Each structure stands twice: as C-alpha cells, then as structure tokens.
Structure 1
Amino acid sequence: MTAAAVTDRRTPHRLAGPAVVTAALLAGTAYTGVQDPTGSGVFPSCIFFAATGHWCPGCGGLRAVHSLLGGDLALALQYNVVVVLLIIPMGIAAIALWWYRAWRRKGTIPVPMWFAIGLPALLGVFWIVRNLPPFAPYLTV
C-alpha cells in the first residue's frame, strides 16, 4: 500500500474532530436561538452567581447569543460585551482554522504563549470590573 493511499484513508479521521465540535456548537446555537434563556428551555444557571451574587465572565453569554440570533446587537452587548466582541469571533476563527488545518494535514493549532496568558488575564480583569459598582450598570443585565 502506498503512502498516498494511507493518507487518503485517514482523511475522514482528521475531519472527525472539527465535524463533531462544529455540529455540537451549531446544535447548541440553534437551541439557544429557538428557546429564550431568560424564560424557556433547559439552560444551566451560573453556579458562581448563585453562590456569590456576583457576575462571572460568562454570565449573560447565552442571553447574548439569543439576542444576536434575534438581530438585537445592542441588547447582546448589554448582556455580555466580551462574549459578543471577543469569544464568538475568536471561536468562529478557531473552528475555521481547525477545519483548514485538518483538511490540509497541518496538525494541531499552535497557541502562542502571549495568547494563552493574555486571554485568561483579560477575562479576569473583565470579571472584576463588571462587578465594581461604577461599571456594574453597564456590564450586567
């Protein structure tokens, strides 16, 4: 058996990861678009908010996605500005890059150290700032 035949046979395996993750994200997004997280559907509640009464970096994320899918960008930004402006675009870019690298046989996605440190640091700062009294009216709904 030639090396080309072995490589061609592995193509579905390389694409299985991105395909499963993309399908799960699309299904979850579709469910969030159909069911309103503020009242209907089965959505998880934030354990941190329930225990402390303070917002975590992800609080309002499902409501923001629901508002985005309904075409209300302003309300989505009020629910969670970081999810709308950072997490969703980066997630879409990461999935697209994963598909590209899997298709082109490039291997895993390299994560730069500045990003691995910077993103959690940014989320930590957002976590603190959104719970400070002067900013809470603007960063929580």
Structure 2
Amino acid sequence: MSEPVAQTRQEPAAAPLRESVPAPAAPHRPCGPPGARPGPLRRLTAPLGALAAGLAAFGYVGAVDPNHPGHYPVCPLLHLTGIYCPACGGLRSAHAVAHGDLGTALEANAPAVACYAACAVFWVVWTLRAARGLPTAGPRLGAVHWWAAGALLLVFTAVRNLPFGAALTP
C-alpha cells in the first residue's frame, strides 16, 4: 500500500507593491461622433468673443473722452515724476482711432496705434484660420522679438521725454 502523497497547494505570488499613481486624464474630445470637427459657429466662438470685447473697449473709450479730466485715472509715473511712460497717450490715441482720426491717434501715441493695427491683423488671421478649421496657434515670438520691442519702447520713451522729442508727447 502506498502512502497518500500530501499535495501542497502553492499560493500565487503576490503582485509587487506599486505606488498609487493617478491614471492620465483622457484627452478632451469634442461632442459629436468620433472624428467629427466642431462646427463653424463653435470654432468662431473665441474670435467673435475677442472681437466683442475689443469693440466694447473701443466703444467705451470712444464715448468717454480721455481728453477731459476726471474720467480715467492719471498715469502714476507721469503724476509722480513728470516722465511720460510708453503708454501715456494710449487712451487718447484709442479715442482718436474710434473716431477715425488716424493723424491725431499717431500724434498721441504712435506705438499704441501700431499695436492696435497688429492686434487687428492677428485677429483677422485667427478668425480665418478658425473658420477653415485650421490650428489657430498664434505667431511664435522668440526672445529676440521681445527684446527688440522692449528696446524700441525704451528708445521711444527716452526720446519723448527729451526736449527735441516734444512732438512725441501726448
């Protein structure tokens, strides 16, 4: 007679302990069937909202004249030091642009008018790209561009505060 063989039952090896790491979030998917692109109205929501905000701002500045004191706060740098900052005259130039007077706007603050024009061009490009369903990433400006813009504003500020640059004061 043979002796019964004791069968040993082996426990499965325990899984190694892992730190609890949250699962990555699922990518955002627009509503609708898979692969569908958002409609034109949805794609134009942001550009049209930006246009509404810009028009409201220019409408307010166009209606409330910054040439009359008491409607807007005073430039702190001009008030405390008597030095015109690069933005001094920006509201006056926006008021002139809102009334279609480009000459007066350029006299008040030429860099501000250049910024208004650049914003308008960027908005048109943004809107056209959004309407066509193309990526709407803006222009990639490097450090050189920002340093150049800062240097130009610094020169503009210095010249407008010197006696021979009085034509650049608002």
* Runs of 4 or more above 6 Å deviation: none
Query: What is the aligned counterpart of 1:121 among 151, 154, 158?
Result: 151
Please give the residue correspondences for 1:54-65 in structure 2 after superposition, counting only pairs within 5 Å: 54-65=83-94
Aligned residues: 136
**SS of residue in 1 equivalent to 2:38:** helix
Amino acid at match of 1:36: D
Who is 1:2 aligned against? 34
Note if contact 1:35-1:41 (Cα within 8 Å) is conserved in structure 2. Answer: no
Who is 1:52 aligned against? 81
TM-score for the superposition, normalised by structure 1: 0.80
**SS of residue in 1 equivalent to 2:128:** helix
Who is 2:127 aligned against? 99
Unaligned runs of 5+ in 1: none
Higher relative contact order (CA 8 A, sep 6+): 1
Cα 1:17–1:71, aligned 2, differ >3 Å: closer, same or farther?
A: closer
Note if contact 1:37-1:62 (Cα within 8 Å) is conserved in structure 2. Answer: yes
**2-structure distance, mates of 1:41, 1:98:** 37
Amino acid at match of 1:90: A
Cα 1:40–1:53, aligned 2, differ >3 Å: closer, same or farther?
A: closer
TM-score for the superposition, normalised by structure 2: 0.68
Q: Larger C-alpha radius of gyration, 1 or 2?
A: 2
**2-structure distance, mates of 1:25, 1:112:** 22
Unaligned runs of 5+ in 2: 1-32
Who is 1:22 aligned against? 51
**2-structure distance, mates of 1:59, 1:83:** 9
**SS of residue in 1 equivalent to 2:154:** helix
Who is 1:130 aligned against? 160
Amino acid at match of 2:103: A
- Structure (1/2) with the larger helix percentage: 1
Task: Report % sequence identity.
Answer: 35
Please state how far the C-alpha of 1:39 moved relative to its aligned partner: 1.3
**SS of residue in 2 equivalent to 1:129:** helix
**SS of residue in 2 equivalent to 1:2:** coil
